[in-house]
Amino acid sequence: MGGAEFCLDLCYNPPMYTHYEIKDDTLRIHGIDRLNLARSCACGQSFRWRPDGAGFAAPARGRMIYAEQDGDALMLSPCAQEDVPLWLSYFDLARDYAAIEEQLLCDAGLCRCVPCASGIRVFQQEPFEALVTFILSSNNNVKRISGIVERLCERAGEKTVLRGKEYHLFPAPAAVAALSIEELVSLGAGYRAPFVKQSAARVAGGYDLAALRDLPLDEARKELLCFPGVGPKVADCVLLFSLGHADAFPVDVWIGRAMKALFFEGSAPGRKELEKTIRALGSESGIVQQYIFHYARLTSLGK
């Protein structure tokens, strides 16, 4: 089928919005193509976003933010001028998702994936938060992960308020490392508790996760695999959702089922075959992965 030959390598110059303005501590970004805020906040890439009024609120990147969509505009508050680049990056607004979808729609197999994930933007989260939350995600479900993360933040994170509601920021590495194994277990971390504590201690000790952004994918993945509790899937989640590696391609049960159906006529591929197929998807294979993942989930593929 056509999917085996699919390759996506796109270059972007202008931003994928028309303009932005700040008024009364609110950033309004206009002319965004392919944005579905509700889908993006609820798709399982981040565990902190909660519905709030007509939008969503979350502690993100060390501060509180309220986000609301109005057609092709995104409103974010509170936002100071100096924070604009951070939020443009967080919501991946330099990436042309419309062009990605156009190429997916030209493929006989991958075209089925587009309606399932159109509008989802891959958030660029804080790397330590991504590391801990995806360690906690192993053999877990989104609802339970979200509960563990919230309890961890309540125990060790800084208290803050937005729109009259109390939240807790994600705790600093030293604060997580200071928790005992027993405390982490009581929060629901289970067998992952020592992995979280040891990984936090390593980052608190000076390990620079952000530096992995500048390494080639294979080298960055190799570094993350040295952290306790980090396997290939968790490593690729951290790389994709916090470190800008758009070619990181997390593989779980759902992706395994979808790849078999879309590329291998229902047969299980060998590791090298699968890796070759993923590489053929191009430099934004991780973005394509989101379409494939949600297609598999929403259609209960292979169940």
Which residues are marked as active site?
233
Helix ranges, the chain (H): 37-42, 84-90, 97-105, 114-117, 127-136, 142-156, 173-177, 181-186, 193-204, 217-224, 232-242, 253-263, 271-280, 285-298
Beta bridge partners of 59: 64
Kindly state the DSSP code that residue 170 receives in the 8-state scheme. Answer: P
Distance (Å) of CA 247 to CA 37, 60, 98, 100, 297: 23, 23, 18, 13, 21
The half-sphere exposure of 44 on its side-chain side, counting CA atoms within 13 A, is: 17
- Could you tell me if 153 and 179 are in contact, meaning their C-beta atoms sit under 8 angstroms apart? no
